């Protein structure tokens, strides 16, 4: 059995085993549970595309499943590429090319923000030979933003009665944070919401996530546990204060950890939606026993309610 077929068979079995309320549903099941009047979007995160058949076909399947599930657009919260940080030009070019080729025929608009692995930094030893490459502009963002079709490192998208703030988790001085300039922009966008318009913030690194803690629990002894600095946004206090001032800011969509969780905190629904790549496309695809490749179908209601189903795409 080819590794590709083997991967999909395991995925199918996992998908079936995980079916049911609160777990993964098929695209057809998601399509059958579409509430009337809601804006339905797909939330894809941590795709980690690479120039290999498993990743290419996996993303192609996922994009098709998003359409089958009834999404009208895609929100992509970053880590679109396997790993641009610490990679040479010869290594990053196939990743950029794979994204362009696989997404070319997708009829749904894809709105993206950047993840930590989407910022290109060549290896220390090769830095001199890459100096001046235009793709390294804006802190390694320029080529990734061009390939992803992003108008700016942070930008707003209006769909239906909703405004999606596509944020940059890596723009602050500390790792990871929005920084003062972006927080001021978020505030202006929320202050400028139109009559009846609601907002969701999309970013790579979560603001609230039990998954961030479980990642640590799964990897270290209790006496080593500390604040999960690498897996939560550091300016979460400032962001929380900001969101509280604007009751029509109703959700935060994020990724980064490749775990699935949902938190309601002070009226805001924080949805961390796993990873399209699961365990970075490795092995049977399942991360830490619990998280196979998946994406989210999110229904945004006119009254501000937000509902999510996690969907398996490999059946
Ligand atoms: Fe990732």
State pLDDT tens for residues 111-135.
Answer: 999 999 999 999 988 888 888 888 9
Query: Residue 27 is encoded by which pair of tokens?
Result: 């695209």
pTM: 0.93
Report the separation in Å between the CA atom of 80 and the middle of ligand 1, taken as the mean of its atom positions.
Answer: 8
Report the separation in Å between the CA atom of 110 and the middle of ligand 1, taken as the mean of its atom positions.
Answer: 18
pLDDT for the residue numbered 226: 95
Report the separation in Å between the CA atom of 299 and the middle of ligand 1, taken as the mean of its atom positions.
Answer: 24
Distance CA 160, CA 39 (A): 7
pLDDT for the residue numbered 231: 96
DSSP the chain: --HHHHHHHHHHHHHHHHBSTTSEE-HHHHHHTPPTT-EEEEEE----B-SSHHHHHHHHHHHHHHHHTT-SSEEE-S--BS--BT--HHHHHHHHHHHHHHHTT--S-EEE---GGGS-B--GGGHHHHTT-GGGHHHHTHHHHHHHT-SSSSEEEEETTEEEEE--TT-SSSSS---HHHHHHHHHHHHT--TT-EEEEE-SS-SS-HHHHHHHHTTS-GGG----TTTS-TTHHHHHHHHHT-TTEEEEEE-SS--EEEEEETTEEEEEE--TTTTTT-TTS-BTTTB-S-EEEEEE-TTS-EEEEEE----
pLDDT for the residue numbered 38: 97
Report the separation in Å between the CA atom of 238 and the middle of ligand 1, taken as the mean of its atom positions.
Answer: 24
State pLDDT tens for residues 15-44.
Answer: 444 444 348 999 999 999 899 999 999 999
pLDDT for the residue numbered 17: 42
10-residue mean pLDDT profile of the chain (315 residues): values are 47 45 84 94 98 96 98 98 96 98 97 98 88 91 97 97 97 88 98 97 98 95 95 96 98 98 97 97 92 97 97 79
Report the separation in Å between the CA atom of 257 and the middle of ligand 1, taken as the mean of its atom positions.
Answer: 6
Report the separation in Å between the CA atom of 79 and the middle of ligand 1, taken as the mean of its atom positions.
Answer: 5
pLDDT for the residue numbered 5: 47
Report the separation in Å between the CA atom of 247 and the middle of ligand 1, taken as the mean of its atom positions.
Answer: 30
User: How many of the other CB atoms lie within 10 Å of CB of 292?
Assistant: 26
Q: Which domains does the chain have, with CATH numbers?
A: 3-311 (3.60.21.10)
Distance CA 281, CA 52 (A): 10
């Amino acid at each position: 059995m080819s590794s590709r077929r083997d991967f999909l068979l395991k995925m199918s079995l996992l998908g079936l085993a995980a079916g049911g309320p609160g777990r993964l549903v098929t695209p057809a099941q998601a399509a059958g549970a579409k509430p009337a009047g809601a804006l339905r979007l797909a939330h894809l995160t941590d795709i980690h595309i690479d120039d290999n058949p498993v990743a290419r076909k996996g993303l192609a399947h996922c994009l098709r499943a998003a359409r089958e599930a009834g999404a009208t657009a895609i929100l992509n919260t970053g880590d679109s590429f396997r790993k641009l940080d610490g990679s040479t030009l010869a290594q990053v070019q196939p990743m950029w090319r794979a994204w362009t080729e696989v997404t070319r025929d997708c009829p749904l608009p894809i709105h993206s923000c950047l993840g930590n692995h989407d910022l290109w930094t060549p290896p220390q030893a090769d830095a001199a030979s890459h100096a001046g490459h235009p793709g390294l502009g804006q802190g390694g963002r320029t080529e990734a933003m061009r390939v992803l079709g992003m108008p700016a490192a942070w930008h707003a998208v209006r769909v239906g009665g909703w405004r999606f703030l596509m944020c940059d988790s890596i723009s602050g001085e500390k790792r990871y944070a929005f920084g003062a300039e972006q927080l001021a922009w978020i505030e202006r966008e929320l202050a400028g919401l139109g009559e009846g318009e609601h907002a969701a913030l999309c970013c790579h690194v979560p603001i609230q996530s039990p998954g961030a803690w479980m990642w640590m629990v799964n990897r270290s002894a209790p006496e080593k546990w500390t604040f999960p600095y690498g897996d939560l946004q550091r300016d979460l206090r400032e962001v929380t204060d900001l969101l509280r001032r604007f009751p029509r800011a109703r959700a935060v969509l994020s990724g980064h950890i490749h775990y699935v969780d949902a938190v309601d905190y002070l009226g805001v629904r924080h949805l961390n939606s796993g990873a399209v790549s699961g365990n970075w496309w490795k092995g049977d695809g399942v991360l830490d026993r619990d998280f196979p490749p998946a994406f989210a179908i999110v229904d945004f209601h006119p009254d501000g309610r937000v509902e999510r189903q996690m969907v398996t795409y490999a059946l």
